[in-house]
Amino acid sequence: MQLSRAIGFFHGNIFLFSTTIGAGIFISPKGVLKSSSGNIPVSLSIWALCGILNIVNGLCAAETGATFPRSAAVYFLLKRTLGSCVAFLHVWIKLFGYFIGLAAQSLLVASSLIQPFYAGCSPPELPKKCLALAILWSLGLLNIRGVKTVSWFQTLSSLVKVAILCFISLAGIVLLVMGRKENVSRFESALDAELPDASQIAEAILQGFYPYVGSTVLVNIADSVAATWVDRVLPSMQWVVSLGISASVIDTSSCGILSGSRLLYAVSQEGQLPLIFSMLNEHLSPAAAVIQLTLLTSIAVIPSNMTNLLKYVGLASWALTGLTMTALIKLRYQHPDLPRPYKAWLPMIFVSLVSSAFLIFMPIIQSPKMEHIYQVVFVLSGVLYYRLHVHLNQHSVFSEKITCYLQLLFNMSPSEDQQNCISTEKHGL
């Protein structure tokens, strides 16, 4: 019983494509423009800056993956350099990002599918949330069926994603070339808009960082006008656009559930989460981890404010980036001879670290809000859970009984590759 290694070169690239061009490209442009005070040149500059920062972070992440070649590489890096508690906090924050991101994606799909029934007005919240939950649990059941099923689903939905992105980009180009006043007026008066302050720029970057991992600027320009173009020029195509956006977002959500469940699986093998998360069903899938991820994401669907959800995801991502860069620097100086098939340029690591600090602390310094206190409480609750579970309750009789019951309920068995886990005592680390 091991995780199925059934993803070859083709499907592996499909998974990378699904995560590179994510769902946020259909959500974030509005939030970025709003946080930029409606200043379009500033907004587009922020998109470009987010792209550059993502390239820098990606090159630094490549060093982490090359040094720790297995699932949850960042977790093992942090465990080695900053300790088990910090590594667990990384998982705690990372899972929060998964919950919020998957919730936002599910709500976006539900909104796209319901909107054609409510032309000219916003759809009701209750049916939108119910549909979002149905979509979320369908993707969870798909992941329980195993990685081969998910791979073929990713391939089909990725083809639809490419088609709809090309359609939206061409729609924006057509509108700009046609020179309609209502579409170009915003560009003519763009330089007259007020400039955002540092806190607003930080919030705009948090919005833009989530989706911008390779998508073109043309998509961001066209996002605000494509729906109007479809309604006025090709009204019958509204269903096609809704279905296309939904399909393109669903494959990102499916990939998120797959990677999130593998994170739970790896951390469970290290003893920092219940053992049930590292058990596999007959399809060689960590079913309990998938179900737990889906359950907690269902709770995150309730607020339904996608702009705020994405801001929290961006903040969590930068907090994790700061921790990772700190760990990389420490590992460089503590173990300079550690085998590294790839090494990132050291100034890039410092650039990523400084950017993380700016985005985390600038909004708190300039405009402190009650939500910042909630975020601190959330992190501290992770420390509390770590102390209770890892040091007090890990080997309790009650925990073993619950694990045995769930193992029988979901027909799962312990993984056979637990002895291959990377820990601080192995490989000279």
In a domain, 68, yes or no: no
Q: What are phi and psi of 146, to 5 degrees?
A: 115, 165
In a domain, 263, yes or no: yes
List, in sequence order, every beta strand (DSSP E) within 112-222. Answer: none
In a domain, 72, yes or no: no
If one compares 373 and 258, the residue with the highest pLDDT of the two is: 258
Per-residue model confidence (pLDDT) at position 137? 92
Residue 27 confidence (pLDDT) above 50: yes
If one compares 231 and 35, the residue with the highest pLDDT of the two is: 35
Per-residue model confidence (pLDDT) at position 294? 92
Per-residue model confidence (pLDDT) at position 10? 73
Residue 135 confidence (pLDDT) above 70: yes
If one compares 79 and 28, the residue with the highest pLDDT of the two is: 79
Residue 381 confidence (pLDDT) above 50: yes
Identity of the residue numbered 222: A
Please give the Cα distance from 9 to 74 (Å, whole number): 23
In a domain, 405, yes or no: yes
Please give the Cα distance from 158 to 249 (Å, whole number): 9
Least confident of 139-143, 250-254, 297-301, 374-378: 374-378
Please give the Cα distance from 260 to 97 (Å, whole number): 10
With 0-12 / 13-18 / 19 or more C-beta atoms within 10 angstroms meaning exposed / middle / buried, residue 252 is buried
In a domain, 103, yes or no: yes
Residues 6+ apart with CB under 8 A from 240: none
Residue 28 confidence (pLDDT) above 80: no
Per-residue model confidence (pLDDT) at position 428? 37
Residue 73 confidence (pLDDT) above 80: yes
Residue 196 confidence (pLDDT) above 50: yes
Residue 232 confidence (pLDDT) above 50: yes
Q: Average pLDDT in the 318-333 region? A: 87
Confidence of residue 69 (pLDDT cuts 50, 70, 90): confident
pLDDT tens digits, 382-396: 888 887 776 665 556
Joined together, the tokens standing for residue 360 give 């985390």
Q: Which domain range does residue 50 map to?
A: 9-54+86-206+217-310+374-420
pLDDT tens digits, 347-368: 888 988 888 888 778 777 777 7
In a domain, 345, yes or no: no
Burial 336-375 (b: 16+ CB within 10 A, else e): eeeeeeeebeeebbebbbebbeebbebbeeeeeeeeeeeb
Q: Average pLDDT in the 113-130 region? A: 80
Contact 358, 205 (CB under 8 A): no
Mean pLDDT in the chain?
75
Please give the Cα distance from 234 to 245 (Å, whole number): 17
Per-residue model confidence (pLDDT) at position 424? 38
pLDDT tens digits, 84-114: 888 888 888 888 878 877 887 888 788 878 8
Residue 22 confidence (pLDDT) above 70: no
Residue 223 confidence (pLDDT) above 80: no
Confidence of residue 421 (pLDDT cuts 50, 70, 90): very low
Residue 119 confidence (pLDDT) above 80: no
Domains of the chain: total: 1
If one compares 356 and 248, the residue with the highest pLDDT of the two is: 356
In a domain, 30, yes or no: yes
Closest C-alpha among 402, 349, 360, 365 to residue 93: 360
Per-residue model confidence (pLDDT) at position 224? 39
In a domain, 267, yes or no: yes
Confidence of residue 219 (pLDDT cuts 50, 70, 90): very low
Confidence of residue 427 (pLDDT cuts 50, 70, 90): very low
Closest C-alpha among 408, 406, 412 to residue 285: 412
Residue 260 confidence (pLDDT) above 70: yes
Confidence of residue 336 (pLDDT cuts 50, 70, 90): confident
**Percent of the chain scoring above 90 in pLDDT:** 3
Per-residue model confidence (pLDDT) at position 122? 76
Joined together, the tokens standing for residue 293 give 């991820």
Residue 40 confidence (pLDDT) above 50: yes
Residue 426 confidence (pLDDT) above 50: no
Per-residue model confidence (pLDDT) at position 238? 64
Residue 184 confidence (pLDDT) above 70: no
